[in-house]
Amino acid sequence: MAINDKPKMLMDESLEEENSGDEEEEGRDEHQKPLIESESSQTESVIPLSIGKIKIFKPRRRNRFLLKKYFKLCSVILVIIVVCVYLLRLRDSLYLSPYSLKSSKASCDRLSTVLVWNKTFPMLTIESALRLVDVNNDTILDAIVPFGTGCGGGVMAIDGRTGEQLWIRYTPHELFASNCNNDINGDAIKDCILGGRMA
Q: What is the pLDDT of residues 60-94, one digit of tens each?
A: 656 666 777 888 889 999 999 999 988 888 776 66
Q: How far is CA 190 from CA 68, 153, 163, 176, in A?
A: 73, 22, 20, 19
184 occurs within a structural domain: yes
Per-residue pLDDT, 20: 46
pLDDT digits (tens, 9 = 90+) for 87-133: 888 776 666 655 555 555 677 888 888 888 888 888 888 888 899 99
pTM of the model: 0.44
Give residue 154's domain range: 131-196
Number of domain units in the chain: 2
- Same-domain pairing of 97 and 137: no
Model confidence at 1, in pLDDT bands (50, 70, 90)?
very low
23 occurs within a structural domain: no
6 occurs within a structural domain: no
- Same-domain pairing of 86 and 145: no
61 occurs within a structural domain: yes
